């Protein structure tokens, strides 16, 4: 009856190795001969298959879970994202426009008056300068500029009239 009294049953490692098809010849022979160890191998095989199924279920469930998560997140994101986009997309453009305006404002001033900027030129002096500019013969290319100067002149004079006299137009 005690057929396997002397023999060593397979170790857990040996059972695992047998399942993996990497058992020592000695262990393989023992499993073939020993019902106990054969049963252990079968139990381990069933356990492994069960674990495999569980692992597959776990692997497939998280994917589904993450898909749902992604959908849920995407459902929530567009609103703040659109708001953010609308709110912040203009920022670089505005910065660029601001830089351009600064450049336009600063550059001519520096070029015209590099040393001591006479920013407080009286309007009358400016107007007389413009007047003398107008009296000079103007190259054809600068004619639009003279139109601008004339318009500016008219505006200045009309504003003068506004301040001194009443509104008369």
Residues that bind Zn ion (CB under 5 A): 9, 34, 36-37
Indicate the residue among 2 and 75 with the shorter CB distance to Zn ion.
Answer: 2
Indicate the residue among 23 and 34 with the shorter CB distance to Zn ion.
Answer: 34
Render 36-76 in DSSP notation, one character per residue: HHHHHHHHHHHHHHHHHHHHHHHHHHHHHHHHHHHHHHHHH
Indicate the residue among 46 and 145 with the shorter CB distance to Zn ion.
Answer: 46
Which residue reads 């054969």 in tokens? 38
The nearest distance, CB 37 to Zn ion, in angstroms, is 3
Nearest to 163 by CA among 118, 123, 119, 128: 123
Indicate the residue among 8 and 128 with the shorter CB distance to Zn ion.
Answer: 8
The nearest distance, CB 10 to Zn ion, in angstroms, is 6
Q: How many other C-beta atoms can be found within 10 angstroms of the C-beta atom of residue 86?
A: 9
Tokens, residue 84 = 């953010």
Contact by Cβ (8 Å): 130, 146: no
The nearest distance, CB 12 to Zn ion, in angstroms, is 12
The nearest distance, CB 38 to Zn ion, in angstroms, is 8
Cα distance between residue 76 and residue 79, in whole Å: 7
């Amino acid at each position: 009856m005690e057929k396997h009294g002397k023999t060593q049953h397979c170790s857990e490692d040996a059972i695992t190795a047998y399942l993996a098809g990497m058992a020592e010849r000695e262990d393989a022979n023992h499993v073939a001969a020993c019902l106990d160890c054969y049963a252990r191998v079968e139990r381990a095989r069933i356990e492994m298959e069960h674990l495999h199924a569980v692992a597959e279920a776990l692997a497939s469930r998280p994917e589904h879970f993450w898909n749902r998560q992604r959908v849920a997140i995407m459902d929530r994101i567009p609103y703040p994202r659109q708001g953010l986009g609308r709110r912040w997309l203009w920022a670089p453009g505005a910065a660029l426009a601001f830089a351009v305006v600064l450049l336009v404002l600063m550059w001519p001033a520096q070029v015209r008056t590099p040393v001591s900027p006479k920013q407080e030129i009286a309007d009358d002096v400016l107007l007389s300068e413009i007047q003398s500019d107008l009296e000079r013969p103007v190259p054809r290319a600068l004619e639009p500029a003279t139109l601008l100067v004339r318009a500016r002149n008219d505006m200045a004079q009309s504003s003068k009239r506004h301040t001194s006299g009443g509104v008369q137009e």
